[in-house]
Amino acid sequence: MTAESITDPLSHAAALLDAVGADRAQVPADIALDCLYAAELLELAGARPKPTALVDGDPRASVRTAMSTLAALDEDVFTSPPVLDAARAARHALRRLG
């Protein structure tokens, strides 16, 4: 866990999803777009992500970490439409990452 993941979990999740979306070496374009869309939705919800590296260089681990971070949000934050839609997009990307 980083200080950012504790103090600003929304931004941490968005940063991880953005990092996955930017990883064109390991992530196919359609999955990258799901991750970038999820990151954008989190920004609409108030996230202010800073560039970050993938978790252990692994796109799947990064998406899982982002989803775990979202799951730990307060219920009222998690159920806001942009956050819930971002979680759905991340889940869809994770499923297709294999």
Is it the case that residue 2 has pLDDT exceeding 60? no
Written as six digits, the tokens of 33 are 């777009």
Angle between helical axes of 29-44 and 9-22 (0-180°, round to 10): 160
Comparing 24 with 3, the larger pLDDT belongs to: 24
What's this model's pTM, rounded to 2 decimal places?
A: 0.92
Number of structural domains the chain divides into: 1
pLDDT at 5 over 80: no
Give me the pLDDT at residue 98, please: 82
62 occurs within a structural domain: yes
Please check whether residue 2 lies inside any domain of the structure.
Answer: no
Please name the residue that has the structure tokens 């200080």: 3
pLDDT digits (tens, 9 = 90+) for 38-88: 999 999 999 999 999 999 999 999 999 999 999 999 999 999 999 999 999
Q: What is the dihedral of CA 81, 9, 51, 33, to 10 degrees?
A: -30
Q: H helices then E strands: how many in the chain?
A: 6, 0
34 found inside a domain: yes
The reply to whether 71 falls in a domain is yes
1 falls within a domain: no
Reading the block at residue 25, the tokens are: 């070496």
